[in-house]
Amino acid sequence: MKHVGVAILGLGVVGSGTYEILRDHRQMYQKTQNVDIVVENVLELRKERAIALGISEDKIASSIDTICNNPNVDIVVEVMGGITFAKDFVLKALEAGKTVVTSNKELYCKFSHELEACAKMHNAGLYYEASCVGGVPVIRAQLDNLQGNKILSLLGIVNGTTNYILTKMSALGVSYQEVLKEAQSLGYAEANPTADVEGYDATYKLSILSSLSFGTKVPYTKIYREGITNINQKDISYGKQLGYVLKLLAIGKNNPEGIEVRVHPTFISSSHPLASVNDSYNAVFITGDAVEDVMLYGRGAGKLPTGSAIVGDIIYAATHEKINYSPFKNTMDADPNTNFIKNFSSAYYLRLSVKDEKGVLAKVTSIFSKYNISCEKLIQDINEDKTANLIIITHIAKEYDINQAVEEINKDEACDVEAVIRVN
């Protein structure tokens, strides 16, 4: 039986989950996978965490070098998070010829070109299934299942915190601030929630996933990003009336004219499979030219679900000869031949506050037609104070045209565009 020694860097939530899974399933893996996986080292400054897990003191390494020099360690699991130490440690492990398994989306997104070059040079494996959508196989599905397809698009709900907040806002009719507070007290949102609510986390994941999907490097810097902090309850509620659900979507499209990548709040039809992905669940909806639509759904984060992805990668690395490097040229920047579309096409939801007076609607629609925007649906909702809410769903329009039309409408005293939300 093959012996595989593992070192875990960081015994936070995912690290301790990984340890527990490996410990509790050791005999199962001996039987089903014919491998004996043993945690040989952990790197964790707070020793009490290791001791609480029953890890003997001699396995607690004092530095990354101890681990790199330990001949019994074959695979290094990086679940520390952050990018400073994590990057340094991962590079050291790869240089020592250790295979690395990481859950660190920011690290992999920003530095995979460096890490992969180092891994190749030292013939080491580099696995990152746990970086996106917890235990749901969104990475490997692209590497090993859908690789016969040209992937046309991917739509993802890839951040649990924002999906939890939007689900609660929709279900309870309460404000963003109120739900955020509750999510923080439940531990579903960080004390500093910026990375999640402003869409950075989703951007890292979209970069990783769309590079795989489209077979070319999609740096996160190319991704249009908008968070959920300005979402107003009103819009969720008007959206519902119109048959839409609001989600923070990560969107990647491989159009004939180029690649379109964006993360922003998006209305989707309530009959779309992604519409019923609620709470902290995540899903990725992939369309390939052969497979058509595929959706992969599950827990996007958490101790054991993310640990499941880490352990899946450990076993894969232990039982497969071939190392899966990126099936595209993994450079820091995008291939100069790749065109990224900024002026993309979409339908739009607009909410305007207008004075309830003659001619206002005519003004709005004339500006729309100037910019080639046409309305598919329109609701006028008159308030008591002689103003009205005008809710418009446009046909497909160009992003730049919408921006210009909004700017022009806002110049008029009688009209104020209060919300612009893309509709997929």
Rule CB under 8 A: choose which of 69, 72, 123, 145 binds its own copies: 145
Nearest Cα neighbor of 133 from 281, 328, 5, 318 is 281
Rule CB under 8 A: choose which of 3, 69, 82, 144 binds its own copies: 144
Binding to its own copies by CB under 8 A, coded x per residue (else -) over 279-318, reads ---------xxxxxxxxxxxx--x-xx-xxxxxx-xxx--
Spatial CB neighbours of 51, under 8 Å, sequence gap ≥ 6: 57
| CA dist., res. 357 & res. 203, Å (int) | 43
31 binds its own copies (CB under 8 A): yes
Rule CB under 8 A: choose which of 10, 15, 135, 239 binds its own copies: 135
What percentage of the chain's residues is helix, strand, coil (to nearest 5)? Answer: 40, 30, 30
| CA dist., res. 179 & res. 191, Å (int) | 13
273 binds its own copies (CB under 8 A): yes
Give 285's strand partners: 155, 295
Q: How far is CA 178 from the centre of its chain?
A: 24
17 binds its own copies (CB under 8 A): yes
Rounded to the nearest whole angstrom, what is the least distance from the CB of residue 388 to its own copies in the complex? 36
| Catalytic annotation, pick one of 168, 205, 217, 247 | 205
Task: At 177, list the tokens.
Answer: 């601030």
Q: How far is CA 72 from the centre of its chain?
A: 34
| CA dist., res. 199 & res. 206, Å (int) | 10
* Closer by beta carbon to its own copies, 64 or else 317: 317
Rounded to the nearest whole angstrom, what is the least distance from the CB of residue 202 to its own copies in the complex? 20
Rounded to the nearest whole angstrom, what is the least distance from the CB of residue 116 to its own copies in the complex? 15
Spatial CB neighbours of 47, under 8 Å, sequence gap ≥ 6: 57, 60
340 binds its own copies (CB under 8 A): no
Interface region with its own copies, contact rule CB under 8 A, candidates 17-25, 62-70, 356-364, 405-413 = 17-25
370 binds its own copies (CB under 8 A): no
Rounded to the nearest whole angstrom, what is the least distance from the CB of residue 51 to its own copies in the complex? 23
Task: At 194, list the tokens.
Answer: 């910026």
Helix, strand or coil, per DSSP, at residue 364? helix
140 binds its own copies (CB under 8 A): yes
Binding to its own copies by CB under 8 A, coded x per residue (else -) over 195-234, reads --------------------x-------------------
The 8-class DSSP code of residue 254 comes to E
158 binds its own copies (CB under 8 A): no
Catalytic: 205?
Answer: yes
**Residues acting as catalytic residues:** 205
